Structure 1
Amino acid sequence: MTDPVLDAGALRDRALRSLTTARDRTTLLTTCVEDPDLTAQHSPLMSPLVWDLAHIGNQEELWLLRAVGGREALRPEIDGLYDAFEHPRAERPSLPLLAPGEARAYAAEVRGRVLDLLESTDFHGTRLTEAGFAFGMIAQHEQQHDETMLITHQLRKGPRALTAPDPEPAPPFTGPAEVLVPGGPFTMGTSAEPWALDNERPAHVREVEPFRIDTTPVTNGAYLAFVEDGGYTDPRWWTPDGWAHIRRHGITAPLYWRRDGGQWLRRRFGVTEAVPPDEPVLHVCWYEADAYARWAGRRLPTEAEWEKAARHDPATGRSARYPWGDADPTPQHANLGQRHLRPAPAGGYPAGESPLGVRQLIGDVWEWTASDFLPYPGFTAFPYKEYSEVFFGPEYKVLRGGSFAVDPVACRGTFRNWDHPIRRQIFSGFRTARSEDS
């Protein structure tokens, strides 16, 4: 099931809303600090914020003004500076980047011309413009960089620069700890979702054995039991690579956690606070998630298992766009869009529950899976190999579901994220699973 077919006016409205929402978020993330914070590199893992800002404008110019509109380049001399594959993040501060004022002006000029182009685009002209795909791709690209910039804000030292209301308080979750997902075939991926990216395609049938999966993501309180039981000092729970990694880097708890006497504290966007036990654990790498699962006598779900838990409706046998059905996300369904700058307590958002009873599969925290990032059968790179194809292989693990930092335009039941198994600065958590016969 996909979005209903939209006429040209509705497609323009959708593209305009998506582009505008993304730009509003970009503006907030790049105006809440002074220019020196925009040009500084707050971690070698991340770009300076000003690089992200101009890169957003450059990609929009490349794909919308040049590729769709056939326009001449506005600033061809900067293309190499903002090519993510040409310069590693650690080197970007040494490049002759646009200053903050120039970057803002460039991104604004591109956007003004894009809005003019949007009014005249034929949404049935080419594969790139079919159903507004290129506009949706660029909106998703900007929102992905908005999440990247939020990660940079979390890494940034100094006082809080961003504020947001906390999620609505909810009573402690008292439902079942795990849910049975029946075995059998289901449809994974999509061939029809208009703005789905190449690695989500094509739809294909997967056979999955029956398994049980956590009803909610693993919480800080549950993870703390692993920490307190000596999980980080016991090689039994770790893969050889994982054990070598945590020993080499002296890792003893999730990123941003520290013990103060008998209390565990965390730093979150410039504020130090007690670790909330009922929130999904955040800022753990794949090795940590895998070790916890082993310690708990369980395992990480495969990517196919995760997607079946998130999309399969056993009553109809079909795969929905989201756990709750085909309707676009609302604030009642999931914690998305940087509306809150933290996960909601585990067990929240009952309106977002899957037909099988699994909660918070969308939003709150990206969830590590056991699977390597690989193409689906029949995969075709589009519109460029560097989006997905160059990353396929065992070096990357798949994450699913999105986080509180992800906008709905860049998050759906088929959306695939991936990263190195050592990454912890991302908004990553996990849930565990077990085979039905275990």
Structure 2
Amino acid sequence: MKNLNELTHDRLREHVADELDRTRRRSAELTDAVDDEDLVRQHSPLMSPLVWDLAHVGSQEEQWLVRGVGGIEAIRPDIDDLYDAFQHSRADRPQLPLLGPSEARNYIGTVREKVFDLLERTPLEGRELVEQAFAFGMIVQHEQQHDETMLATHQLRDGPPALSAPPPPRAERQGLPAEVFVAGGPFTMGTSAEPWALDNERPAHEVHVDAFYLDTTPVTNGEFRRFIADGGYDQRRWWSEAGWAYRRKADLRSPRFWIRDGGRWMRRRFGHVEPLPDDEPVVHVSFHEAAAYAAWAGKRLPTEAEWEKAARFDPADGRVHRYPWGDADPGPEQANLGQRHLQPAPAGAYPAGAAPCGARQLIGDVWEWTASDFTPYPGFVAFPYREYSEVFFGTEHKVLRGGSFGTDRSACRGTFRNWDFPIRRQIFAGFRCARTPVEG
């Protein structure tokens, strides 16, 4: 995001309006791409029907902006329970009396009209919820997060392709080192200054990280194929106890959406079945698969502190930056974000987005599993509601960093923390490995 601290209130309102518009266009693209029958269908028990996500973003917008910020009478209090993500599991949502596609579109349009009116007359100071337009930014990020969820639903749907996008830029990996070195020492993790940062990114705090090596790029399909060819899925020694139990229960033999076709590998990608590109980062792997590969390779997954130091710390000036390349918002020359392409870019792409340590593609392309559990930072305060982060803290969820090709720039920065169950594979997740230097 822009440096919101430097914008006047009028310019900040313009920026918020642009972000709301841009985000809603993406939601429309994802839902207008299919017919009403497809919108109400559940494509996987792991995901909601697309029409639920569409109305849910409107419901959250109504609750936090129309009611919470504006104090305006509720538009549809009767549907609050239907679109409360904690009240009904994704598997059960198709059986609920949900708004139909036309009704859902009308509802979110009505909410948005009231929000634009509210934006014009709401003081952007004096209350923590509206300081520097925080609540508006939270809603932008929330809708973009659901847009990425809807994109994952598109990947799970059967039938002909409904979405299209140009391929990502080519890359030249030759000459790149396999690993980069990150020196040990303290750095400032998290943020207390980013106006739209969410509660689990806060507060900024000093963390000491020992020296380590990090893969220059995410692990590729070709590299992961070698793990499979070497019997990686069949050898207990590479897997944790929980990982091996899950591998056996789910009968895992390759990343999700890979297809064995005789002597070659294919993949299914948004309705296309195509040869597996060896040079792209592997995607749709669980934490357990990532950790097993790392063990097979004689490495490990990085902690999230290691990941963030590699992505943000510049030893030349001793500062942490918003992104690997500095403080400027991500552009198309720096990262593969925002559904601009419907696949990861080849490993080694985006040299303009490289971190000071030399690592590439830390932002965009694939979410990267880390070894860390999702826990609060020292001094964490839930805001504006416990259910965003606090109820998920603990050992059940692993942290992912960096965003994917389906993540919007508004919901991705060097401090942004994603989390999920270690068995999840429908998300756009990959990984890179780390290792500790050998002493002596």
**Per the shorter chain, which TM-score range?**
over 0.9
CA distance in 2, matches of 1:174, 1:262: 30
Q: Give the C-alpha shift of residue 2 in structure 1.
A: 6.0
Q: What's the counterpart of residue 392 of structure 2? A: 391
Runs (4+) of structure 1 exceeding 4 A deviation are 1-4
CA distance in 2, matches of 1:2, 1:300: 32
Q: Give the C-alpha shift of residue 5 in structure 1.
A: 2.2
- Secondary structure of the residue that 2:85 maps to in structure 1? coil
| CA shift digits 1:352-397 (9 cap, x unpaired) | 0011111000000000000000000000000000000000000000
- Secondary structure of the residue that 2:206 maps to in structure 1? strand
Given that 1:2 and 1:192 are in contact with CA atoms closer than 8 Å, whether structure 2 keeps it comes out as no
CA distance in 2, matches of 1:21, 1:247: 43
| CA shift digits 1:182-220 (9 cap, x unpaired) | 000000000010000000000000000000000000000
Alignment of 1:75-114 (within 5 A): 75-114=76-115
Q: What's the counterpart of residue 408 of structure 2? A: 407
| CA shift digits 1:384-435 (9 cap, x unpaired) | 0000000000000000000000000000000000000000000000000001
Amino acid at match of 1:343: P
Amino acid at match of 1:217: P
Q: Give the C-alpha shift of residue 170 in structure 1.
A: 2.6
| CA shift digits 1:302-342 (9 cap, x unpaired) | 00000000000001111100000000111011000000000
CA distance in 2, matches of 1:169, 1:306: 25
| CA shift digits 1:124-183 (9 cap, x unpaired) | 121000001000000000000000000000000110000000012233443101000000
**Measured at CA, do residues 116 and 306 of structure 1 come closer, stay the same or move farther in structure 2, by a change above 3 Å?**
same
Q: Give the C-alpha shift of residue 4 in structure 1.
A: 4.2
Q: What's the counterpart of residue 185 of structure 1? A: 186
CA distance in 1, matches of 2:310, 2:169: 25
CA distance in 1, matches of 2:324, 2:5: 18
CA distance in 2, matches of 1:432, 1:293: 6
Moved more, 223-232 or 162-171: 162-171
Given that 1:164 and 1:340 are in contact with CA atoms closer than 8 Å, whether structure 2 keeps it comes out as yes
Given that 2:291 and 2:301 are in contact with CA atoms closer than 8 Å, whether structure 1 keeps it comes out as yes
Q: What's the counterpart of residue 257 of structure 2? A: 256
CA distance in 1, matches of 2:316, 2:287: 33
CA distance in 2, matches of 1:409, 1:213: 26
- Secondary structure of the residue that 2:314 maps to in structure 1? coil
CA distance in 1, matches of 2:224, 2:129: 45
Alignment of 1:319-330 (within 5 A): 319-330=320-331
CA distance in 2, matches of 1:121, 1:224: 55
Amino acid at match of 2:150: M
CA distance in 2, matches of 1:34, 1:267: 21
| CA shift digits 1:92-136 (9 cap, x unpaired) | 000000010000000011011111111111111210000010000
Moved more, 118-127 or 41-50: 118-127
Q: What's the counterpart of residue 359 of structure 1? A: 360
Structure 1 unaligned spans of 5+: none
CA distance in 2, matches of 1:116, 1:173: 54
Amino acid at match of 1:275: L
Given that 2:4 and 2:132 are in contact with CA atoms closer than 8 Å, whether structure 1 keeps it comes out as no
CA distance in 2, matches of 1:314, 1:411: 23
Q: Give the C-alpha shift of residue 437 in structure 1.
A: 2.5
CA distance in 1, matches of 2:73, 2:129: 18
Q: What's the counterpart of residue 242 of structure 2? A: 241
CA distance in 2, matches of 1:312, 1:125: 33
Given that 2:365 and 2:403 are in contact with CA atoms closer than 8 Å, whether structure 1 keeps it comes out as yes
Q: What's the counterpart of residue 157 of structure 2? A: 156
CA distance in 1, matches of 2:248, 2:169: 39
Q: What's the counterpart of residue 26 of structure 2? A: 25
Q: What's the counterpart of residue 215 of structure 2? A: 214
CA distance in 1, matches of 2:151, 2:388: 21
Q: What's the counterpart of residue 50 of structure 2? A: 49
TM-score, normalised with respect to structure 1: 0.99
Q: What's the counterpart of residue 292 of structure 2? A: 291
Q: What's the counterpart of residue 204 of structure 2? A: 203
Amino acid at match of 1:345: P
Moved more, 163-172 or 194-203: 163-172
- Secondary structure of the residue that 1:180 maps to in structure 2? strand
CA distance in 1, matches of 2:227, 2:175: 21
Amino acid at match of 1:84: A
CA distance in 2, matches of 1:377, 1:6: 30
Alignment coverage as a number of residue pairs? 438
Q: What's the counterpart of residue 147 of structure 2? A: 146
CA distance in 2, matches of 1:36, 1:2: 42
Alignment of 1:58-69 (within 5 A): 58-69=59-70
- CA root-mean-square deviation: 1.0
CA distance in 1, matches of 2:349, 2:183: 24
CA distance in 1, matches of 2:201, 2:216: 25
Identity level (%) = 66
CA distance in 1, matches of 2:351, 2:14: 30
- Secondary structure of the residue that 1:368 maps to in structure 2? strand
Q: Give the C-alpha shift of residue 222 in structure 1.
A: 0.4
Amino acid at match of 2:210: E
Amino acid at match of 1:193: E
Q: What's the counterpart of residue 118 of structure 1? A: 119
Given that 2:5 and 2:195 are in contact with CA atoms closer than 8 Å, whether structure 1 keeps it comes out as no
CA distance in 2, matches of 1:437, 1:140: 42
| CA shift digits 1:8-38 (9 cap, x unpaired) | 0121122112111110000010110000100
- Secondary structure of the residue that 2:242 maps to in structure 1? helix
Q: Give the C-alpha shift of residue 90 in structure 1.
A: 0.5
TM-score, normalised with respect to structure 2: 0.98
Given that 1:211 and 1:434 are in contact with CA atoms closer than 8 Å, whether structure 2 keeps it comes out as yes
